[in-house]
């Protein structure tokens, strides 16, 4: 990935994305919990992807924003299609890209048509931003070839600090449609629970092959641990993260902020 530097002539959407790139890829430690959590999520995605999908496979990265996951997957040898609602962000991703074979497909993923299905679709930090996560997952499943995979990351609804409603308890999700697709945690509508994911996966004719919980409160600076992150060496943080992932799953569901799910299409 090419290193870029802020320019006054950039569109506002590029400048907004650049602020996140400072935290996510360029070493800004002003919000170290956010940075650690992002690095951990990216690591989880790439490890899972490489464990089930061979190099050279066709990957669709949905709502990919500034394209850091897209670019990382391309660097691993995958044939990546970048997607986002914001068409102008494609230019920002191209600015950072060192590969000519990334395909750019801007627009609402539900409305786009592709010549053939993908080997794998990545939906990272998206499903919590939609009013109808069940319909969203069905639409994503239609983009995957039989035997192909969907990799999803999303905040964990069972995390002890979650105060958002369960999707399964909502009688009329349509009331949230005007709130869809807003960025950052302010745009979260539902945080899904494991049982809800199992239900909507079955409805979408998907099989869950793996669910893993990750990022504990220290890793992301929750529960006033942000100050500790400034003085604790990162290898200690990583060791504690590895330890909490060895705990019984009933405990992991309570103390980890995020989950990664591997679906396979029938």
Q: CATH number of the domain at 21, please.
A: 3.40.50.150
Mean of the pLDDT values across residues 32-44?
96
Task: State the pLDDT at residue 93.
Answer: 96
Task: Tell me which residue of 133, 108, 110, 106 sits closest to 13, measured CA to CA.
Answer: 106
- Domain presence at residue 1: no
What single DSSP character describes residue 165? P
The total of other beta-carbon atoms located within 10 Å of residue 174's CB is 10
- Domain presence at residue 82: yes
Task: State the pLDDT at residue 98.
Answer: 87
Helices (H), 193-265: 194-203, 217-220, 226-229, 234-244, 249-255
Task: Tell me which residue of 185, 52, 188, 174 sits closest to 122, measured CA to CA.
Answer: 52
- Domain presence at residue 3: no
Mean of the pLDDT values across residues 21-35?
94
User: What pTM value is reported for the model?
Assistant: 0.95
The total of other beta-carbon atoms located within 10 Å of residue 55's CB is 9
- Domain presence at residue 41: yes
Task: State the pLDDT at residue 185.
Answer: 67
- Domain presence at residue 121: yes
pLDDT > 70: percent of the chain: 100
- Domain presence at residue 189: yes
Mean of the pLDDT values across residues 54-76?
96
* Number of domains into which the chain is organized: 1
- Domain presence at residue 131: yes
Helix (H) / strand (E) containing 147: strand 144-155
Task: Tell me which residue of 248, 43, 265 sits closest to 142, measured CA to CA.
Answer: 265
Domain of residue 160 covers 12-265
Task: Tell me which residue of 150, 184, 24, 183 sits closest to 96, measured CA to CA.
Answer: 24
Task: State the pLDDT at residue 227.
Answer: 85
Mean of the pLDDT values across residues 25-33?
93
């Amino acid at each position: 990935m090419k290193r870029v530097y802020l320019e006054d002539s950039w569109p506002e959407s590029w400048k907004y994305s650049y602020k996140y790139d400072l935290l996510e890829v360029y070493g800004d430690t002003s919000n170290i919990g956010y940075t650690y959590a992002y690095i951990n999520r990216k690591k989880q995605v790439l490890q899972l992807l490489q464990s089930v999908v061979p190099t050279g496979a066709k990957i669709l990265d949905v709502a990919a924003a500034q394209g850091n996951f897209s670019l990382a997957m391309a660097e691993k040898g995958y044939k990546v299609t970048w997607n986002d609602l914001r068409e102008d962000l494609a230019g920002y991703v191209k600015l950072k890209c060192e590969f000519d074979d990334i395909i750019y497909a801007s627009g609402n993923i539900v409305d786009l048509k592709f010549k053939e299905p993908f080997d794998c679709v990545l939906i990272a930090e998206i499903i919590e931003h939609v009013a109808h996560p069940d319909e969203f997952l069905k639409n994503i499943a239609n983009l995957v070839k039989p035997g192909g995979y969907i990799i999803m990351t999303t905040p964990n609804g069972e995390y002890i600090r979650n105060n958002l409603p369960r999707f399964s308890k909502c009688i009329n999700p349509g009331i949230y449609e005007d709130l869809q697709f807003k960025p950052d945690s302010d745009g979260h509508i539902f945080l899904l629970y494991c049982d809800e994911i199992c239900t909507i996966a079955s409805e979408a004719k998907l099989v869950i092959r793996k669910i893993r919980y990750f990022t504990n409160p220290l890793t992301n600076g929750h529960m006033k641990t942000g100050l500790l992150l400034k003085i604790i060496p990162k290898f200690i943080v990583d060791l504690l993260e590895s330890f909490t992932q060895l705990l019984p799953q009933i405990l992991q569901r309570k103390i980890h902020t995020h989950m990664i799910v591997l679906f396979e299409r029938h």
